């Protein structure tokens, strides 16, 4: 069970035009009795429902229904810490990423900052999928080491909202489901139109599981981008001075890491 003293955070991701903002509006107007703080990386092409938003130029502002909305114009950690100073005003936080965002850095935020880790708990990563167009995004070839955001968004999902089902045939839908399961086998899929999913299936569900994610793919980036330094006493006179970097993980490229560090030497 999630720690009730911590603020539950839901991350909403999905490719451009999938219906993320429609889902956020659905949640904000739903009858769940909760006051939710919404963080948007930027206002999307649709935007939060105008009927809910008060005119303001502030970075954090209260909406007509008592919820709070923020725009991230800089660092997510900074805006979260600023928002947490008002934690008595809301019950949960909803973060909507941009359509072209890899969700890994957002997830990483909740493990790299001690204050946020103590104050918040990641409840779930929800990925909204445009069933009509997702295949072309998954098949897109990226140059070099550039990640395919659509693949990452599905891989990191705790739940998938399979949206826009009215635009595809049954066979097309099943083909998309097979592809999703190939990328993320254990993920639960919720079928919907207009991003209208039952709120009890997407809020307060305690679905995020770090161990499951690492079992799914030990090479997942994001959480293990963390870098931790510690001081281990002082050198004694005459002692050979050595700095050590310890990498813990599976299938690490020792030669690549070694050559990379040697290339930094001046």
Q: Kindly report, residue by residue over 45-77, the tens digit of the pLDDT.
A: 445 544 544 444 444 444 454 545 555 544 778
Cut 0.85: pTM above it: no
Place of tokens 């310890």: 246
Instruction: Indicate whether 124 pLDDT > 90.
Output: yes
Q: By CB neighbour count within 10 A (0-12 exposed, 13-18 middle, 19+ buried), where does 244 fall?
A: exposed
Would you state the structure tokens that stand for residue 34, as one six-digit string?
């909760």
Q: By CB neighbour count within 10 A (0-12 exposed, 13-18 middle, 19+ buried), where does 24 fall?
A: buried
> What confidence category does residue 222 fall into, taking pLDDT thresholds of 50, 70 and 90?
very low
> What confidence category does residue 97 fall into, taking pLDDT thresholds of 50, 70 and 90?
confident
Higher pLDDT, 121 or 233: 121
Calculate mean pLDDT across residues 84-112.
83
Rounded CA separation 152/147 (Å): 7
What are the φ/ψ torsions at residue 172 (nearest 5 degrees)?
-65, -40
């Amino acid at each position: 069970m999630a720690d009730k003293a911590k603020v539950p955070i839901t991350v909403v991701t999905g490719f451009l035009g999938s219906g993320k903002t429609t889902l956020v509006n659905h949640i904000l107007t739903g009858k769940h009795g909760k006051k939710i703080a919404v963080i948007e990386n930027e206002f999307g092409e649709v935007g939060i429902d105008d009927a809910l938003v008060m005119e303001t130029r502030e970075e954090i502002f209260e909406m007509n229904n008592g919820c709070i909305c923020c725009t991230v114009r800089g660092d997510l950690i900074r805006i979260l810490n600023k928002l947490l100073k008002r934690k008595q005003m809301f019950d949960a936080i909803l973060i909507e990423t941009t359509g072209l965002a890899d969700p890994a850095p957002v997830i990483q935020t909740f493990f790299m900052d001690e204050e946020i880790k103590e104050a918040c708990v990641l409840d779930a990563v929800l990925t909204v999928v445009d069933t009509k167009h997702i295949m072309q995004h998954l098949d897109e070839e990226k140059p070099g080491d550039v990640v395919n955001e659509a693949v990452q968004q599905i891989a990191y999902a705790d739940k998938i909202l399979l949206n826009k089902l009215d635009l595809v045939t049954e066979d097309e839908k099943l083909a998309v489901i097979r592809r999703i399961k190939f990328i993320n086998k254990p993920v639960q899929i919720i079928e919907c139109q207009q991003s209208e999913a039952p709120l009890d299936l997407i809020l307060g569900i305690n679905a995020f599981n770090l161990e499951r994610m690492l079992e799914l793919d030990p090479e997942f980036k994001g959480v293990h981008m963390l870098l931790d330094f510690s001081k281990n006493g002082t050198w004694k006179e005459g002692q050979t001075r050595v700095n050590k970097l310890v990498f813990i993980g599976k299938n690490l490229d020792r030669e690549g890491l070694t050559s990379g560090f040697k290339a930094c030497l001046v």
